[in-house]
Structure 1
Amino acid sequence: MASTSRGRVQICCPEHPDAPLVEDYHAGDMICPECGLVVGDRVVDVGTEWRTFSNEKNTKDPSRVGAAENPLLEGGDLSTMIAIDPKDSQVDEFGKPMYRNRRTMNSADRALTNAFREISQMADRLNLPKMVSDRANTLFKQVNDTKSLKGRSNDAVCSACMYIACRQEFVPRTFKEICAVSKVSKKETGRVFKLILKTLETNVELITTGDFMSRFCSNLSLSPRIQKAATYIARKAVDLYLVPGRSPVSVAAAAIYMASQASEDKKTQKDIGDIAGVAEVTIRQAYKLMYPKAHDLFPEDFKFATPIDQLPTQ
């Protein structure tokens, strides 16, 4: 039913004239929400056109008009390049053709794009989720805008941003793991990491042994029972101040070694060191500090396959 109001035709339901009609964009119908009556049909869809012409014989796809917009780039990926007539060619003094610059983005955007690509590749090698690479991209953009790290290589800044992003997104990785997928040394990454924290006036949460325990135990194919015991041992060792000055990674590796030696699934210091990225001597030194208090470190419900008195002393 249609009613006329001031020269305009207004469609309404004959049974419920005051009810606001619901438009079904897929079918092109105007439906009354009270009784479900289709009042008007074949309504013109004023939404965005999403048709694709990729199946036609023409090789070009008109539905693809450019890359997705990236808010981190200066131009927002909306820059335009005017084509040059190929017949309008110039030659230099030696008669060779001169090619005009056809770059589609400025140097600043190109540097950002290369850095984002490097960060994405590092995230892929480390099997990290996209939110970590997005956080690293944002950190790199903030550092780049401050222009406080001029002279530092972009690879070092990318590695440091990835390390910070991992810790801020609660999926921490060690410096060795970051350096293994980048082109920068551990020393340079650590130096740039401190400069970024100072420049951006931000901080990161302290790393604990629990941040690495599940990943290390999973890579070692250890059971959840051993993982739970290793987590308890590492936390207890830190609480009792048995391993002062030791990094959380080395404490976690020593705790895994102690828990595995007391169980039926024993792992060597070399196996654990290869997964954790810690030298055998480092694991041995932390284990020697924890061994005298081994009776106080294991949880009460732990089932020993090897008694504490028969555990290796180092």
Structure 2
Amino acid sequence: MSRVDSSQAQCSNHPEAPLVEDYKAGDQICSECGLVVGDRVIDIGSEWRTLSNEATGADRCRVGGAENLLLNGSDLTTIIGGGRGTAAFDELGNAKYTSRKTVSSGDRALMNAFDEISQIADRLHLPKTIVDRANSLFKTIHDGKKLRGRSTDAIASACLCIASRQEGVAQTFKEVYYYNGDLMSRFCSHLGLSNTVRNAATAVAKTAEDLGIVTGRSPLSVAAAAIYIVSQASQFKRSQKEIGDVAGVGEETVRQVYRLMYSRAEELFPTDFVFFTPIDKLPVS
């Protein structure tokens, strides 16, 4: 038995008395009179048990992780370890027992988003309270299917930005998304574009921001428009829809930002860029 926090439950006869938890019975008991205050209490923390392997030196001391209530399946899975004795194999030498770990597509998407939020928060040195709030926000959006088809990275960044503001930490969306990895590398990789196009698009986007051409536009739309204008000037052309689908922005959004860049295209391209299609032959919109 161990003493537990009585802030959520208390004895009616001795409200100030600490409670004792009986893990075997799952009861919370008053330390003064022995009254059972709560029963069938489940410990959702991680289970620890020493299962060291003297032969290999491996110490499998941890069994399972803490329950995640934001996941529909609560992230509870069972993994069967491979046997070593003769009873573990059939007459043909095939393993009788296999490890099966099933995760729904919905939970998989949530887990990926939570990992993304955690990684960005680590880079920004944000506390766990903000991470937990951002995870909860993402869960609400995911379950409501309000932003279906949008980039998970963008939604995760937005949730982290909102959570930061709600917790009183000043954090702009641009700052958060900056730490969400290299946009150009990811987008160009998905689009099958070369490093030459990626580098040129990065330079175009940076120059457009420095000149104030795309002020107020999201990093996603700026990256998408930069890739589009560079691809049109190269031999590896991609449509606004193709790029928008990868970047998670609408085709019309790509078109609008592209128009801003097109009006000053001669100022945007790096001097060493080799044009396959000259600027005066680029699409107007």
TM-score when scaled to structure 2?
Answer: 0.53
Matches within 5 A, 1:24-39: none
* 2:100 equivalent to 1:132: no
Of 114, 118, 129, the residue aligned with 1:142 is 129
Q: Gaps spanning 5+ residues in structure 2: where?
A: 1-20, 27-37, 46-65, 76-105, 142-148
Mapped contact 1:213–1:231 kept (Cα < 8 A): yes
Larger radius of gyration, structure 1 or 2? 1
Partner of 1:82: 24
Partner of 1:155: 136
- Once the two structures are overlaid, the 10-residue window that deviates more, 240-249 or 229-238, is 240-249
Task: For 2:282, give the aligned amino acid.
Answer: L
Quote how far apart the aligned CAs of 1:154 are.
Answer: 7.2
| CA deviations over 1:149-186 (Å, ceiling 9, x no partner) | 8xxx97326679xxxxxxxxxxxxxx943389xxxxx6
Partner of 1:201: 169
* 2:255 equivalent to 1:287: no
**CA distance in 2 between partners of 1:130 and 1:210 (Å):** 12
Quote how far apart the aligned CAs of 1:102 are.
Answer: 3.6
How many residues of Structure 1 are paired with residues of Structure 2 in the alignment? 192
Of 305, 309, 312, the residue aligned with 2:276 is 305
Partner of 1:177: 151
| CA deviations over 1:31-62 (Å, ceiling 9, x no partner) | xxxxxxxxxxxxxxxxxxxxxxxxxxxxxxxx
Mapped contact 2:164–2:171 kept (Cα < 8 A): no
Q: 1:130 to 1:288 in 2, by over 3 A?
A: closer
* 2:196 equivalent to 1:225: yes
Of 205, 212, 228, the residue aligned with 1:234 is 205
Task: For 1:177, give the aligned amino acid.
Answer: S
Q: 1:120 to 1:225 in 2, by over 3 A?
A: same
| CA deviations over 1:226-281 (Å, ceiling 9, x no partner) | 00000011111111111222111111100000000111110000000000011111
| CA deviations over 1:94-143 (Å, ceiling 9, x no partner) | xxxxxx95443279xxx97314867984465459579629959x978536
Task: For 1:285, give the aligned amino acid.
Answer: Q
**CA distance in 2 between partners of 1:309 and 1:144 (Å):** 48
Mapped contact 1:210–1:231 kept (Cα < 8 A): no
Identity %: 39
Task: For 1:241, give the aligned amino acid.
Answer: G
**CA distance in 1 between partners of 2:121 and 2:215 (Å):** 36
Q: Gaps spanning 5+ residues in structure 1: where?
A: 1-78, 85-99, 161-174, 181-185
TM-score when scaled to structure 1?
Answer: 0.48
| CA deviations over 1:49-78 (Å, ceiling 9, x no partner) | xxxxxxxxxxxxxxxxxxxxxxxxxxxxxx
Partner of 1:254: 225
Mapped contact 1:229–1:259 kept (Cα < 8 A): yes
**CA distance in 1 between partners of 2:245 and 2:225 (Å):** 13
**CA distance in 2 between partners of 1:305 and 1:216 (Å):** 21
Quote how far apart the aligned CAs of 1:194 are.
Answer: 2.8
Mapped contact 1:237–1:297 kept (Cα < 8 A): yes
Q: 1:127 to 1:222 in 2, by over 3 A?
A: farther
